[in-house]
Each structure stands twice: as C-alpha cells, then as structure tokens.
Amino acid sequence: MLTFTFSWLALLVLLVSVLLPVITGFVTTRFTSGSKKAVVLALLSAITGFGTEVMNAVQNASTYDVFTGLVSAITVFIVAVAMYFGLWKPTGIAERAQDVGGIVK
C-alpha cells in the first residue's frame, strides 16, 4: 500500500532548513569564527528540529517524542550545511547576508 500525505509543517521545515545558512549569516559577521558560525547554525537547527516536534505534538494532540525531535534537528543541520556549501557559498549570498547582519561577533 502506498499513500501520500501532504504536511505544511514538513514543507516549512524543509524551507527553514534551506534558509538557515542565510539566517546564520544575518546574525554573524565575516569576522565571526567558523566555529561560532557552526554553533549558531547548530542551535538554530536544534530549535527548528525540536520546535517542529512540539508543533507536531500540539497539532496532533499526541505526546512529545524526544527521539523524533533529535532526528529532525540533526536532519535540519545536515540539510543546512549541504545547502551552505552547495548553493549559498558558491553564489556569494552567504557573504552578502553577513554584510547585513552581525549580532554574533
């Protein structure tokens, strides 16, 4: 048996995962160390992954699944890193985002 269930929440997580490197660029500067940028990206990924599971639990009136939140956070981080090196860095958008923002130095 095969089914296709569309989920706005899953689509939103995918979109956020793709945009997280740019969001990280907005809150960092060009002079922020790579390790600090990685920590910011990891924190934003964790917020996205665990937050998604919170929204899913509330939406479906079910219990919060920590493992699903953790897997989601890791997946968001992997997609965000892949998008950074595959799209945002080569096109220069990541660097331009750092020119705009600069909360974390």
1 part of a folded domain: no
44 part of a folded domain: yes
Query: How distant is the alpha carbon of residue 31 from its chain centre?
Result: 22
Measure the CA–CA gap between 51 and 87, rounded to whole angstroms: 25
**87: containing domain:** 16-97
Query: How distant is the alpha carbon of residue 75 from its chain centre?
Result: 9
Contacts from 63-69 at CB under 8 Å and sequence distance 24+? none
Per-residue pLDDT tens digits for 11-53: 999 999 999 999 998 888 888 888 999 999 999 999 999 999 9
Tell me the backbone φ, ψ of residue 28, rounded to 5 degrees: -120, 175
2 part of a folded domain: no
Give the number of domains in the chain: 1
105 part of a folded domain: no
Per-residue pLDDT tens digits for 52-105: 999 999 999 999 999 999 999 999 999 999 999 999 989 988 888 888 766 666
